C-alpha cells in the first residue's frame, strides 16, 4: 500500500511500510501505526521526487527511491522527516501497534469538529484505553488484560489527566477491588479513586469545578418489603449513592436514593430481570432499583441518569430533593410535562445524561426493548412551567437496536459525537444527522462511551511523549 505524503514544497513523496501502515493516508495527517514488533523489522519504502529528501528513523537524508529497515518494538515509534528544497521540514510518526489491538475502520465525509476521541475498546480478552485522532490513528493507548479488569468509562479529566473505571465483569459496581484509575500520559498512576463505605461503581466519574469528583456507589439493604410493588416481602435492594470526594479522598457530600425514590418508580421491565443472578454469591444478590449510569454537576444541582427508572432527574444539592424528573413513571411535583415528543415511553434504558452551557439537557436514549430507534435527544428544561421540550433528535440508519451503553456529546460547533452502544460504532454527526466521521471498532469490540476532545485542549506531542516513555519503561 503506497501513501502520498504532501511534501512542504512542490515535490511528492510516496511512503509505504511492511507491515502495512494504518489508517489510510490523509495529506494533513501526521500519525500512523503499524503492527510491527521487536525481532521483526519494520520496512519503510520511500519514493521522493522534485528535490525532496527524507530521513527515516534518524538515518541520513536521502532522495529518490529506497527502502529502510528499522527495529522497533511495541509502542515504539519511527519518525519520517521530509525536507523540501526550500528547507521546510514536515514530520510524520509511525508507532508499532500491539498485535492484539482490535481492528477498526475510519470513514470521513467532512471536517470533524473534534480533534481527538477517547474510547475504551473492549474484547473478550481484555481491553484498551485509546485516544484516536480525527483521521483514525490511535495516537495513545494502554492495554489492560481481562485477568485484571475491563476498562470502562475512559475520559480526559479537566485537570489534564486520564481516568477510567475498573470493570470486573459484574452487572454494576459491586466488587471490593473496583476503583477509578487516574494516570498521566506516561502511564504513571496518580491515584485510585474509591468510594467510602461500599464498592465503587464504574459507570461514571465526573470532575467538579472545585477539583472534587462525583463518584457512584451502592448501599446494600436487606429485609425490604417489595410486595406492594409486586415483589418479595423480604427483599434485598441496592440503594444508589453519589459521593463528592476531595482530591485527598474525603467525602464532603453524599446523596442516597433511599428516602427520595420509591421502588414503585423502577420500571417493571428492569425490575424483574434477574438482578445479578450468577454474578455474585447468593448472599450478595439483590435488586438494583436505579442503576445509575451518569452523573454531572449542574451549578447547585446534580443531573443523574438512572437506567432502571427509564428517567433522568436533577437533585438539589442543598436539600437532596428531586427538582425535576424526565421520563419514567409519573411522580407529582417532580415529573415534567413533555412537549414536542410523543414517544411512548419517553425514555427506555437511557445513558449519558448531560447538561450544556445553554442549559439544555441531552441523553442517549437506547430505546431498549421497544420498537423505537436509539438516538441522541436534546431537551430544553423550563423549571418554572415544569416543561421539557424536545428540540433535537439524531438517529443512525445503521443502528436499529442499542440495548446497552452509549453516549451523546455535543461540541461547541454544533456537531454531536455519539457512541452507538454495544455496536462499536462512534460517529460525529451534524445537528441534522449527517455523518462527518465514523469510527467502527472491529467484530466483538465495543466501547462503553466515547469522549470528544476539541482542538486546543490536548497536544499531540504530549501523547507521543507519553507513549515514548511507556515504551521505554516497558509499561503495557
pLDDT tens-digit profile of 273-321? 444 555 666 666 788 889 999 999 999 999 999 999 999 999 999 999 9
Per-residue pLDDT of 122-142, as tens digits, reads 987 789 999 999 999 999 999
pLDDT beyond 50 at 3: no
Q: What is the pTM of this model?
A: 0.94
Q: What is the distance between the alpha carbons of residues 62 and 286, in angstroms, rounded to a whole number?
A: 68
In whole numbers, what is the pLDDT of the chain averaged over residues?
A: 91
Q: What is the distance between the alpha carbons of residues 394 and 391, in angstroms, rounded to a whole number?
A: 11
Which DSSP helix (H) or strand (E) runs through 268?
helix 268-271
Q: What is the distance between the alpha carbons of residues 140 and 452, in angstroms, rounded to a whole number?
A: 14
pLDDT beyond 50 at 1: no
Contact 389, 382 (CB under 8 A): yes
Q: What is the distance between the alpha carbons of residues 37 and 322, in angstroms, rounded to a whole number?
A: 55
pLDDT beyond 50 at 102: yes
64, burial (CB in 10 Å: exposed 0-12, middle 13-18, buried 19+): exposed
Contact 395, 366 (CB under 8 A): no
Q: What is the distance between the alpha carbons of residues 79 and 65, in angstroms, rounded to a whole number?
A: 18
How far, in Å, are 240, 255, 289 from residue 221 at the CA level?
11, 16, 11
Contact 109, 415 (CB under 8 A): no
- Using DSSP, state whether 326 is helix, strand or coil: strand
Write down the pLDDT at residue 7.
38
Amino acid at each position: 500500500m503506497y501513501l502520498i505524503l504532501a511534501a512542504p514544497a512542490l515535490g511528492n513523496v510516496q511512503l509505504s511500510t511492511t507491515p502495512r501502515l494504518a489508517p489510510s493516508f490523509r495529506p494533513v495527517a501526521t500519525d500512523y501505526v503499524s503492527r510491527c514488533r521487536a525481532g521483526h523489522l519494520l520496512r519503510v519504502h520511500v519514493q521522493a521526487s522534485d528535490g525532496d529528501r527524507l530521513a527515516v528513523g534518524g538515518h541520513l537524508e536521502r532522495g529518490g527511491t529506497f527502502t529502510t529497515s528499522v527495529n522497533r518494538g511495541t509502542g515504539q515509534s519511527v519518525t519520517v522527516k521530509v525536507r523540501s528544497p526550500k528547507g521546510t521540514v514536515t514530520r510524520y510518526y509511525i508507532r508499532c501497534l500491539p498485535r492484539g489491538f482490535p481492528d477498526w475502520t475510519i470513514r470521513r465525509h467532512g471536517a470533524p469538529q473534534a480533534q481527538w476521541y477517547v474510547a475504551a475498546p473492549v474484547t473478550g480478552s481484555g481491553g484498551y484505553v485509546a485516544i484516536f485522532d480525527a483521521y483514525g490513528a490511535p495516537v495513545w493507548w494502554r492495554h489492560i488484560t481481562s485477568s485484571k479488569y475491563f476498562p470502562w468509562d475512559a475520559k480526559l479529566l479537566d485537570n489534564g489527566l486520564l481516568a477510567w473505571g475498573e470493570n470486573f465483569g459484574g452487572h454494576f459496581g459491586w466488587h471490593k477491588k473496583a476503583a477509578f484509575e487516574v494516570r498521566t500520559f506516561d502511564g504513571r498512576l496518580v491515584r485510585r479513586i474509591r468510594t467510602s463505605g461500599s464498592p465503587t461503581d464504574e459507570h461514571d466519574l465526573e470532575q467538579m469545578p472545585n477539583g472534587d469528583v462525583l463518584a457512584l456507589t451502592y448501599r446494600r439493604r436487606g429485609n425490604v418489603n417489595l410486595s406492594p410493588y409486586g415483589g418479595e416481602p423480604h427483599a434485598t435492594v441496592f440503594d444508589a449513592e453519589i459521593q463528592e470526594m476531595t482530591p485527598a479522598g474525603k467525602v464532603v457530600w453524599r446523596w442516597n436514593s433511599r428516602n427520595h425514590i420509591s421502588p414503585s418508580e423502577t420500571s417493571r421491565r428492569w425490575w424483574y430481570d434477574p438482578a445479578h443472578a450468577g454474578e455474585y454469591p447468593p448472599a450478595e444478590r439483590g435488586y438494583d432499583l436505579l442503576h445509575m449510569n451518569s452523573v454531572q454537576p449542574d451549578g447547585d444541582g446534580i443531573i443523574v441518569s438512572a437506567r432502571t427508572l427509564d428517567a433522568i432527574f436533577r437533585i438539589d444539592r442543598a436539600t437532596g430533593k428531586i427538582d425535576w424528573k424526565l421520563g419514567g413513571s409519573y411522580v407529582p411535583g417532580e415529573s415534567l410535562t413533555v412537549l414536542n415528543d410523543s414517544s411512548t415511553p419517553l425514555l427506555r434504558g437511557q445513558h449519558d445524561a448531560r447538561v450544556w452551557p445553554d442549559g439544555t439537557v441531552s441523553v442517549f436514549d437506547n430505546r431498549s426493548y421497544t420498537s423505537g430507534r436509539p438516538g441522541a435527544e436534546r431537551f430544553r428544561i423550563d423549571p418554572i412551567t415544569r416543561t421539557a421540550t424536545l428540540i433535537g433528535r439524531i438517529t443512525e440508519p445503521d443502528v436499529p437496536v442499542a440495548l446497552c451503553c452509549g453516549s451523546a456529546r455535543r461540541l461547541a460547533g454544533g456537531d454531536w459525537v455519539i457512541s452507538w452502544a454495544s455496536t462499536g460504532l462512534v460517529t460525529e454527526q451534524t445537528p441534522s444527522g449527517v455523518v462527518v466521521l465514523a469510527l467502527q471498532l472491529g467484530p466483538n469490540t465495543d466501547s462503553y462511551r466515547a469522549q470528544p476532545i476539541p482542538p486546543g485542549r490536548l497536544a499531540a506531542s504530549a501523547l507521543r511523549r507519553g507513549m515514548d516513555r511507556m515504551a521505554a519503561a516497558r509499561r503495557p
